[in-house]
Structure 1
Amino acid sequence: MAQDAGRPAPAPGVPDPGTPDTPAAGPGEGRSRRTVLVAIGALLLGMLLAALDQTIVSTALPTIVSDLGGLDHLSWVVTAYLLASTAATPLWGKLGDQYGRKRLFQAAIVIFLLGSALCGLAQDMGQLIAFRGLQGLGGGGLIVLSMAIVGDIVPPRERGRYQGLFGAVFSATSVLGPLLGGVFVDRLSWRWVFYINLPVGIVALLVIASVLHIPVSRTPHRIDYLGTFLIAAVAAALVLMASLGGVTYGWGSWQIVGLAVLGAVLLVAFVRVERRAAEPVLPLKLFRSRTFTLCAVIGFIVGFAMFGSMVYLPTFLQVVQGVSPTMSGVHMLPMVLGMLFTSTLSGHLVSRTGRYKVFPILGTAVTAVGLLLLHQLRESSGVVEMSAYFFVFGGGLGLVIQVLVLIVQNSVSYQDLGVVTSGATFFRSIGASFGVSVFGTIFVNNLRPHIADALAGRRLPPGITPEGLAADPRTIGRLPPGPRAGVLHAFAVSITDVFLYAVPVVLVAFVLAWYLREEPLRGSVTAPEGSEILASNPVERSSHDECVRALSLLGSREGRRQIYEDITQRAGLDLKPAASWMLLRIAHKGSVQPALLAERTPVPLRAITEAARQVEERGLGVRYGLGLTLTADGREAVARLYRAREASLAELLGDWWSPERPRDLIELVDELSQEMCGSDAEQPRAPRPPRDTGPAPHAP
């Protein structure tokens, strides 16, 4: 009894609670909730900038090329951004680990804002393409570092909830981006598509500088600079070959052949470098896994079809259909909504059933059907018809894009979890670059002969030539009705033929999807959030970070009441969940006063009173003054509850929780178990009493 009179000793396996009412510090502790929320808001602004810039440009592109000229190189306005951000993403992640993420995040904002300002000032297509590359370098840092900083300021138990906000930003920008781009073009100028980033970015920069204070814990890396340069150079050479071939230079010209040879040589050099690199940007061992290789190819094709279509559909709507940039953004919504709807649905069904192979098969098939429907679009197509076609195409993409990341995560050991996630999304990003470029080449190669055929033998107004019409679609309005209809048809056929050429490519993915192995789904493998689905950048998270995200998300889905019901049953204790919660809280705080607990938590007083009475009646706690402290039996009950929570988390991890499990995984499970023990964020929620008189609700 002497020991019970003082501060109780911690139960075996339970952290020392320290002084009463002083929880142990952890990530995010020591900061006020308001400070954390303000910092998260600034990070969301940074993420918003990068996410918005992936979609806001699409509806402005027809106006941009009309103003600056160079329809031949329209695709590079998008491709330059995609390639730069894809190549920079792994570098930003490792440099942030090594030199501190706050400074790197501020640098990424500055680079992005500089690129945005220069894009707005661009006087020709060459300048715009170069400045878009600079913007992409900063955009890659904004995405990867904002997600990483969340891990620095938010404890693991809450990380999934906050990272879900970043996914929501991507989902929102995918809907609003095309619409906002159209509004700026109609109301202001296409240059405001880029200028709008400046005030938002400056606010984010100032808030980050004044509010964000994170410990500088430097993790040394042997950064694979050469590998990063080589993979970016390989992609650039091949994309240049695809975009210039048959447009600027003939396919047999020395320039195109030279680019093909250069790409092959650089690829060989990349493979040699990656074999020797200590931390390769793309570990070659991944390709020993058939599942990863198949998913990488399917992801490449999905990125190819998705981003290529999103760039050229607004051109069809504005040039052929004659809708305003704003309305072209509205017309694009069914495609984005279809993608979001089916990606959410497929993720939910996979989580419930544990079966996933059907979705890549079904998704690639529906995507191919969607492309065939898009090929049927003509200048006379109505809004309902177009919306239906867009929805089908987006729905097909959503069915497959969500599940690919989940499949590769389910197929590897814990040590490779982070690298397969980034590898799978990397190939989708490279596919996006190729898709935009190849679609552009097909479009331009088809457009010129179709316009020439449409205008053959016709008299044109002074100053209008077939070449001028191909370079500046705005001049179509100056044509007489007959030639104008012919040119519009030429644009319609040239754009919609692009979708037909993409069908065989998607059918390759359909065939490959049948060869995927369906393995039992680990409990900890969760559907990725929007930032992993919709981002053009590869995801860059370690195995530990990915596991934190999954377990945090699963913990929030369980519900606080369910957690306490589960661990009480697992521990073999005949207690109400609220009594278990109170025991853990006493262990965490040292002692608690039930009356104060009722004031400071949303749990009703009656539930707390009954829980306190049960704790005392079972001899698990004893009162000293107004407070309750644990007895020896209480400390043993707490240890059993703590071990039960560990066991429930380990069960979710499946075979990742093997005898050879790494230390950081053990520490993660231990940390999550500790945070559950009496944490304010893990209070069981009891239903509020009804307004009318009657019995109080049963205690949780």
Structure 2
Amino acid sequence: MQDGISDNEGTNPESTARVLGTMVVLAGAVAVFATDNYVTASLLPSVLSDVGGERYFAWTATAFLVSSVFAALLISKVLTRFATRGAVLIGLTVFGVGTALCALSPSIWVLLAGRLVQGLGGGLMSGVSLAAMRMVLPERLWGRMLAVISLMWAVGNVAGPALGGVFAELHAWRWGFGVMVAASVVIGLVAVRSLPAGGETGQARDQPADGAAAEPWPAGSLVLVTVGAAAVSLAGIVPKGAATGAMIALGAALIAAFLRHERHATDRILPALTYARGSRLRWYYLGIAGLTIGVTAETFIPLFGQRLAGLTPLSAGFLGAALSMGWSAAQLATSRITGEAAVRRFRVAAPAVVAVGLALTAAGQHAHAGGGAVALWVVTLAVTGAGIGMGFARFAFPVMSSIEDAAEATKAAAGLNVVQVIAGTFGSALGGVLVNVGAPSDQDSARLLYGGLAVLALVGLAAGIRTASRSGSSVVGTAAAEPAAEVAAAESVPAAA
């Protein structure tokens, strides 16, 4: 047996090449998605100065994320109908069209439309990379693939700010989006050559179980969560005060309705085990949500870097990448620590580190910041990212290894992206609200933003404590299935609820 390849792949060169090709394409899709995040964040101040609409700065992120929610909820269905290659190509094509629309934007409204389309493609790209991992790669490679995905974010950390910053300083921001269109085309061509249309890839068929295709589309869940995310997004532009509170309350109520609907419905987005009494799956998802909250700060970092410290677009772009650099470094540094006790401690410590890092970043925000202050921001943002890096895989891996049924397992893996996108959407939208509450003072806006996100990140701490206190928790690096009693309970959720 070769290291990291199952017996079949080790003796079948064609199968080995197919597995490696799959990993390259999935990693490439993540690299395009990650790079675009930093390119866009670096370009946005320049874009909005040209097309107008600075009041809608947060909407450029929430428009992307709201449509990503919709796309993420459909991941398992898209994979069922089109297999991995079809799903990847659809995501890349839609993403490329949206990016081209951003490049050609004459106004803020066309830009927002482009971001909506980008979000659909981006949601598919990032979601497929996680869900297809469970479907088409040997279990031995899941941990390695998570590390490779983390590395792709590190690639985006460098390439994104560099590209975005250079094009912004050259007053050629449209070309920055154009480069991302070209990148999506290149990965699409590689996908056509490397991925099979369907059939055998790795340890599992490149399709969920046959029963998955017959399941109805989860229309109720789609409507509730998408409208809920949009309601919170609107809170950032309505008049301050009662209207803002009302929109946030409406969004929270719709998400609560989404969870209740999911618990009772047969056409769910998340697997049934999520809602089973005593299941650990819900806490793993909640831990991912708490960590994701910290990531949403990246949208605003270049903006405050330019406004509070007078950084150039290029320097502000690299400042924005400090968080993900910490994430990638910590995930790679701790990936070999797989002892059960250590994993439980990581699940508790990681969200606490995120909250502390964001709180310290908030405390360090002030107008006319000099080089020392900026250096401190880099450190505190890297600490925030380190918390995400040390905890993400510890919450994510048990989700992928908790269910034996193929259709439900696909939902569980796709649910990782669903939870990330929903948490990111709400974090970004609430961040926009906090920024507007602090206006016109950039210092107050920055402090409210980072401080508010620090409080929200404590959701992950609660989840980490809950999983650490339960016996038999899954351990990263093992195939720890949920107890049969929990699976049986999950099958009876609709009736019991």
How does the TM-score come out when normalised to structure 2?
Answer: 0.78
Q: Which residue of 2 aligns with 1:271?
A: 260
| Map 1:237-248 → 2, pairs under 5 A | 237-244=230-237, 248=238
1:243 is paired with a residue whose SS is coil
Deviations 1:548-582 (CA, angstroms, capped at 9, x unpaired)? xx5xxxxxxxxxxxxxxxxxxxxxxxxxxxxxxxx
| Map 1:576-591 → 2, pairs under 5 A | none
* Pick aligned residue for 2:444 from 472, 479, 493: 493
1:179 is paired with a residue whose SS is helix
Q: Does 1:222 align with 2:179?
A: no
Alignment coverage as a number of residue pairs: 468
Uncovered stretches (5+) of structure 2, i.e. residues with no partner: 1-5, 200-205, 489-497
Q: Which residue of 2 aligns with 1:386?
A: 374
Distance in 2 between the 1:298 and 1:163 partners? 17
Contact 1:342–1:395 under 8 Å retained in 2: no
Q: What is the root-mean-square deviation of aligned Cα atoms in Å?
A: 4.0
Q: Which residue of 2 aligns with 1:194?
A: 177
Structure showing greater relative contact order (alpha-carbon pairs closer than 8 Å, 6 or more residues apart) = 2
Distance in 2 between the 1:322 and 1:300 partners? 33
Distance in 1 between the 2:42 and 2:464 partners? 33
| Map 1:95-106 → 2, pairs under 5 A | 95-106=78-89
- 1:135 shift after superposition: 1.0
Uncovered stretches (5+) of structure 1, i.e. residues with no partner: 1-22, 449-489, 527-549, 551-651, 663-700
Q: Which residue of 1 aligns with 2:475?
A: 525
Q: Which residue of 2 aligns with 1:143?
A: 126
- 1:516 shift after superposition: 4.2
- 1:278 shift after superposition: 4.3
How does the TM-score come out when normalised to structure 1?
Answer: 0.58
Deviations 1:12-64 (CA, angstroms, capped at 9, x unpaired)? xxxxxxxxxxx997799473866775665455433322222233211222222
Distance in 2 between the 1:215 and 1:364 partners? 39
Which structure shows the higher helix fraction? 2
Distance in 1 between the 2:355 and 2:311 partners? 26
1:56 is paired with a residue whose SS is helix
2:239 is paired with a residue whose SS is coil
Q: Which residue of 2 aligns with 1:359?
A: 346
Q: Does 1:126 align with 2:104?
A: no
Q: Does 1:342 align with 2:330?
A: yes
* Pick aligned residue for 1:433 from 425, 428, 432: 425
* Pick aligned residue for 2:309 from 315, 321, 333: 321
- 1:120 shift after superposition: 0.8
| Map 1:487-636 → 2, pairs under 5 A | 490-507=441-458, 510=461, 513-519=464-470, 525-526=475-476, 550=477
Q: 1:215 to 1:365 in 2, by over 3 A?
A: closer
Distance in 2 between the 1:35 and 1:285 partners? 33
- 1:314 shift after superposition: 0.9
Determine which structure has more spread, i.e. the larger CA radius of gyration: 1
Contact 2:228–2:250 under 8 Å retained in 1: no
Distance in 2 between the 1:265 and 1:660 partners? 28
- 1:226 shift after superposition: 0.6
Contact 1:81–1:135 under 8 Å retained in 2: yes
Aligned letter for 1:392?
A: T
Distance in 2 between the 1:169 and 1:97 partners? 26
Contact 1:59–1:329 under 8 Å retained in 2: yes
Q: 1:384 to 1:363 in 2, by over 3 A?
A: farther
Q: 1:79 to 1:517 in 2, by over 3 A?
A: same
Q: 1:205 to 1:370 in 2, by over 3 A?
A: closer
Contact 1:237–1:259 under 8 Å retained in 2: no
1:239 is paired with a residue whose SS is helix
Distance in 2 between the 1:494 and 1:502 partners? 12
- 1:75 shift after superposition: 0.9
Distance in 2 between the 1:420 and 1:370 partners? 30
